[in-house]
Each structure stands twice: as structure tokens, then as C-alpha cells.
Amino acid sequence: MSTDRVVLVTGGSLGIGQATVAAFAARGYRVVAMARDAERLAASVAQLDHPLRACVSAIPGDVREEVDVAAAVGGTIERHGRLDVLVNSAGVSMRASRRLVQSDVAEWRRIIDINLTGTYLMCRAALPHLEASPDAAVVNIQSTAAYAAKAGVGVYAASKFGVRALTETLIDEYRGTGIRVSSVSPGPVDTNIWSHKIEPPDAVRRSTMIRAADIADIVVWLIERPASLHIPDITVTPTRFAR
């Protein structure tokens, strides 16, 4: 398939974001990947097969920083002259299950800043450029935690409920304009995010999680539905994972 559409993916060096970069590149999109660790981001692009690698470029940056966000969006426009799709996948989770009363404010700020403020800043910077695209879309990688808060994961859930509020606000604000704003809300996905846990899941538990590549395929599928269709959210859960 060949397309001239340009996609910007945050969190593009690992997990769902990395798989999404590869999936769009495999479909012939021009892709810009963003993440903080420049070396890991470059390595992630370098490990793609040759024809895919040519479709992907990297712009290191932190979604919490307005200047980095402006550089990622501006750099994409400078390189490709357009932006059609924004995928917000940059995100972090809690290091351990903690009741709210036991949580610390540094952890609260880290998670809210990256997951919620980062998504807000990216959307705010990208949307004026997306408005120029004939077929624009935003996909926010939410979580099932955006729909159900549970004991021990309140800080993460608060960030994802917030992302859901952003998504639903943008859906309403861009209704009728042709810009499709959606979310994909997965249950547990086998990525690096779990390695930051004080008690990471073992291999057996990981094997029951969703594969990042499957979420990436769903994101691409969503983008490739006819422009006349808007799918607000796709919630995806693994069939064998037990809490």
C-alpha cells in the first residue's frame, strides 16, 4: 500500500508506540517517532528492516515539555510538509500498587504530567496542523483504567480518566470537521512498562497479556476505516489474563 500520509507517534521507542511505528511504516506511511531517550529511539528505528526504516525518522523529546512538543510537531511539518495522524502512546504506570492515602506526590506528578499533560500538550500543538489534512485523526492510547478505577491504581486511573476526558472533549469540539479523534483502551499489554514495577509479572503472566503488535494493528485498522466513519473508542482485553 502506498500513502502520502504522515503519522507522529509519541512513545515510539518501546512497547505499543514502537509497534505502532513499525505497523504504520509497513503500510507505507511516513512516520515520526518521539521519545525521551534519544539513543534508544535511534536504536529502535535502526532495528527496522531496510524498506521500513526509510519511512521512519526520530525526534527525541519529552511530552511534558512544551518546547520539545513544539519541536516534534514543527520538525514533522518541516520534514514532511504535513501531519495527518497523531498517536499519543507515551506513558508511564505506577511502580507498585498503592492505596491513594499511601501514594506520594512525586509519583502523582510524574504520572499525571506524562500521561495527561503530555497528551494535552501534544494534541494542542498538533491539531492546528491536523486541521490542514484532508483526513486527519488523533488516537490516544488510553487503558481500561480510563473506564474503571480500582483500589491500588488510583493515580494511574486518574491520569487515564483525564485522557478519556480530553479524548471526549476533542471528539465533541471537532465533531463535523472531518477530524476523527479516538482512543484505544487496552487491558494488560506485554511491554516494558511492567519492568518498572517493584514486583514485575513473571513470564507465565506476561504470556497471557495482549501483544503490543496486536494493539498497533488495531490502531492502523482504526485509521484505515473510511473517513466517513468515526469510532470513538476500541477497548481491548486479553481473553486469558486473570487479575
Give catalytic residues, as residue numbers.
156
Residue pair 53/27 in contact (Cβ under 8 Å)? The answer is no
- Alpha-carbon span 93 to 108, nearest angstrom: 10
Is residue 36 a contact residue for ligand NAP (CB under 6 A)? Answer: yes
Read off the C-alpha cell for 228.
466517513
Nearer to ligand NAP, 169 or 237 (CB): 237
User: Which amino acid belongs to residue 228?
Assistant: S
Q: Which of 22, 27, 85, 91 binds ligand NAP (CB under 6 A)?
A: 91
Is residue 162 a contact residue for ligand NAP (CB under 6 A)? Answer: no
CB of 135 to ligand NAP, least distance (A): 24
Q: Which of 7, 8, 9, 16 binds ligand NAP (CB under 6 A)?
A: 16
Residue 196, CA distances (Å) to 17, 40, 59, 136, 224 in order: 17, 16, 24, 34, 33
Binding to ligand NAP (CB under 6 A) within 177-236 occurs at: 186, 188-189, 191-193
In which residue are the cell numbers 504520572 written? Answer: 111
Residue pair 22/52 in contact (Cβ under 8 Å)? The answer is yes
Residue pair 98/155 in contact (Cβ under 8 Å)? The answer is yes
CB of 84 to ligand NAP, least distance (A): 21
Nearer to ligand NAP, 94 or 127 (CB): 94
User: Which amino acid belongs to residue 85?
Assistant: V
- Alpha-carbon span 118 to 18, nearest angstrom: 18
Q: Which of 63, 111, 138, 155 binds ligand NAP (CB under 6 A)?
A: 63
Is residue 35 a contact residue for ligand NAP (CB under 6 A)? Answer: yes
Is residue 173 a contact residue for ligand NAP (CB under 6 A)? Answer: no
Nearest to 215 by CA among 23, 13, 28: 23
CB of 78 to ligand NAP, least distance (A): 19
Binding positions for ligand NAP, rule: CB under 6 A: 10-17, 34-37, 40, 62-64, 89-93, 114-115, 118, 141, 143, 186, 188-189, 191-193
